[in-house]
Amino acid sequence: MSAAELDLPLDDTPASRFLAWLIGGLVFLAVLACAVAIFSQSAVDRLAERPRIVTVALPAVEDPAEAEAELAQVRSLLEQLPGVAWTALVSKDELDKLVEPWIGRVSPEARAEILLPRLLDVRFQPGVVPDVEDLTRRVRAVAPGAMVEETSPTGGALEEVALRLRWIGGGAGLLVLLVLVVAVVVVTRSSLDLHDETVDLLRLLGAPDRYVARQFELHAMASALRGGSVGFALALATILGLVHLPALWGVRLVPVVPRPLDWILLAIVPVLAALLITLSARLAAVYGLARLR
């Protein structure tokens, strides 16, 4: 005697037996696709964590003392702002290199006669996004005519690739889950047709449709747990292999080290798949039973 035994012999048909394998394979693919999306998001997040730099250009002032006082005032103001890590005055040599494309190489005497704005690099703490407009307003209160602009280095190609991979991985993951739902619906409907006599008997014994649908739901859930666990374990092994094995030969295939949160998000994929499978089987059975009336 067993309460766990299903009233419908759902494991007796090839399609139902195959369901666990199918789920395993698709969960494997879904986890891999989601790993690409999650690790890419992780890379994008890390790139966003790089400290941001803003350059403040103070208008040239002839009087050195006045210039010095104004600079000190502006630095003091900036360094007191929340999120600012430090400020640094761009050196004269660096400034010369910056303007060289416009004024060409000039002698030191001629250069001394050219009044150039003073540039101040303001570096923010990681994760702080500077409000350039507010900063401009504050600086201009002390140094009228000052210009403020963000000069953070861009993420470049890596960020671009990470962003694309995030969408591709996420899209592929969703597509695989969609295929999984369709497969479960097809298998449930075909099982319902194959077992119509048993379903008829259960109904004759007074079973409401929700009782019969529960049989399909339980079978799908058991298949999801069996197949999903295997698929997830294999996907995990594959990911760990891709992350760690090439490192033994000094190669790095995955350019980011996954965070604990990434693994947690990955673990949600088979759980989500199991929920989707169970719900799909139930709905397919309920609609199928309505058709069998």
For residue 84, list its beta bridge partners. 124
Count interface residues toward another protein (CB under 8 A): 19
Tokens of 123: 């570096």
* Choice between 10 and 44, CB closer to another protein: 10
Is residue 11 within 8 Å of 17, Cβ to Cβ? Answer: yes
Residue 82 is inside which H or E element, if any?
A: none
Q: Which stretch binds another protein (CB under 8 A): 1-9, 48-56, 138-146, 182-190?
A: 1-9
At 280, list the tokens.
């799909």
CA-wise closest residue to 142 among 80, 88, 75, 83: 75
Instruction: Give dist(CA 241, CA 78) in Å, integer.
Output: 48
Choose between 46 and 203: whose C-beta lies nearer to another protein.
Answer: 203
Report the residue number, 12 or 160, with the smaller CB distance to another protein.
12
Instruction: Rule CB under 8 A: say whether 86 interacts with another protein.
Output: no
Instruction: Report the distance separating Cα 106 and Cα 103, nearest Å.
Output: 8
Helix intervals (H) in the chain: 14-48, 64-80, 92-103, 108-113, 132-142, 156-194, 196-204, 209-244, 260-291
Which of 32, 44, 187, 202: binder of another protein (CB under 8 A)? 202
d(CA 279, CA 180): 12
Closest CA to 48 of 108, 141, 128, 120: 128
**Is residue 287 within the footprint of another protein (CB under 8 A)?**
no
Binding mask 2-21 for another protein (x = CB under 8 A): xx-x-x-x--x---------
Q: Give the nearest distance from C-beta 292 to another protein in angstroms.
A: 11
Stretch 211-250: interaction string toward another protein, x if CB under 8 A: x---------------------------------------
Among 65, 112, 204, 251, the residue binding another protein under the rule CB under 8 A is 204
Among the listed residues 14, 105, 153, 293, the single contact to another protein using CB under 8 A: 293
Asked if residue 207 binds another protein (CB under 8 A), the reply is yes
Pick the piece of the chain touching another protein (CB under 8 A) from 27-35, 73-81, 107-115, 205-213: 205-213
Q: Which is nearer to another protein, 201 or 261 (CB)?
A: 201
Return the closest-CA partner of residue 20 out of 281, 231, 234, 236: 231
Is 143 buried (19+), middle (13-18) or exposed (0-12) by CB count in 10 A? buried
Nearer to another protein, 1 or 248 (CB): 1
Please provide the size of the chain in residues: 293
Asked if 201 interacts with another protein (CB under 8 A), we say yes
Identity of the residue, 112 or 204, whose beta carbon is nearer to another protein in the bound complex: 204
Closest contact distance (angstroms) between CB of 199 and another protein is: 11
Name the residues that contact another protein, by CB under 8 A: 1-3, 5, 7, 9, 12, 198, 201-209, 211, 293
